Amino acid sequence: MSAVTQDTSVSTGRVTRAFIYLVLILFALFYLLPLYVMVVNSLKPLPEITGGNMMALPREWTLEAWGSAWSTAQIGVSPTGLKPYFLNSIMMVVPAVALSTMIGAMNGYILTKWRFRGDVWVFGLMLFSCFIPFQIVLIPMARVLGMLGLAGSVPGLILVHLVYGIGFSTLYFRNYYAAFPTELVRAAQIDGAGFFRIFWRILLPVSGPIAVVTIIWQFTNIWNDFLFGASFGGVNQPMTVALNNLVQSSTGVKEYNVHFAGAILAALPTLFVYIVAGRYFVRGLMAGSVKG
């Protein structure tokens, strides 16, 4: 999929243009609104929210809610704040992303440059696995994790995300390597280069862009996952599950400012990635939907 190539040659009148700008700006406000509400209210003391206006800027700016969300808020039964869960998410995401990307690169290389009978079927089966509703695997997965002694642990979550992440990473690398001239691989083979050497010397050096796309995609998906975390996290829940526990807890006063601060904390890593590498993020989204 090529990115921005050309503007349309359609021309529009003045009134139409004014209308178009108005609509575009209104929608920008619509998309920014929840972020504004979250940030502004996370910086207010609680009474200013319950007795005040959600859209107003804080009269008294404070980082108290942030401190509370990070280190003292009640999550489930213990007042630990979101910090340990944030660390759980990091420990889960890093190996899962690294492994699924490396495996995906190998798979993509094999499926395009070492084709064999039935390779399209192998790929098709892996591709469909990206789109199954994960409800269909929850029950057996719980059982398998239990048998492996990985239930309720971070390694268990890594395994789950790795298993269901390979499909997408394979898809990305396969589509990318498909455009790489196979003649170069054949030439290297005739020169006596082996399977790993060709990958290492010829394909890996050109894999930068697709590796970034894959890493961002896997990172966003795994960090944002809730279903697997809630089902298999046990006491080692990831950030999303802890945030939900914080917000849904029915005991005590609802500390909206802490909820908002927690929500931003949960969003920060993926937002950060989006801000520094938005271009690749969009490319990944497109490659995951329009396979071509």
Is 212 a binding residue for other proteins by CB under 8 A? The answer is no
Query: Quick one: which of 218, 179, 186, 210 has its CA closest to 96?
Result: 218
Is 143 a binding residue for other proteins by CB under 8 A? The answer is yes
Distance CA 153, CA 292 (A): 38
Using CB under 8 A, which residues numbered 152 to 171 contact other proteins?
A: 163-164, 166-167, 170
Is 27 a binding residue for other proteins by CB under 8 A? The answer is yes
Using CB under 8 A, which residues numbered 227 to 256 contact other proteins?
A: 227, 230-231, 240, 243-244, 247-248, 256
Near other proteins by CB under 8 A: residue from 18, 23, 63, 148: 23
Is 81 a binding residue for other proteins by CB under 8 A? The answer is no
Is 267 a binding residue for other proteins by CB under 8 A? The answer is yes
| Residue 242 structure tokens | 């802890």
| Conformational region of residue 39, where left means phi above 0, alpha means psi within -120 to 50, and beta covers everything else | alpha
Near other proteins by CB under 8 A: residue from 72, 74, 80, 129: 129
Query: Which lies closer to other proteins via its Cβ, residue 236 or residue 240?
Result: 240
Least distance CB 37 / other proteins (angstroms): 5
Is 139 a binding residue for other proteins by CB under 8 A? The answer is yes
Least distance CB 203 / other proteins (angstroms): 13
Least distance CB 206 / other proteins (angstroms): 19
Is 179 a binding residue for other proteins by CB under 8 A? The answer is no
Least distance CB 185 / other proteins (angstroms): 12
Using CB under 8 A, which residues numbered 50 to 69 contact other proteins?
A: 50, 52-55
Is 132 a binding residue for other proteins by CB under 8 A? The answer is yes
Choices 61-69, 77-85, 131-139, 148-156 (CB under 8 A): range interacting with other proteins = 131-139
Near other proteins by CB under 8 A: residue from 137, 151, 188, 212: 137
Least distance CB 14 / other proteins (angstroms): 12
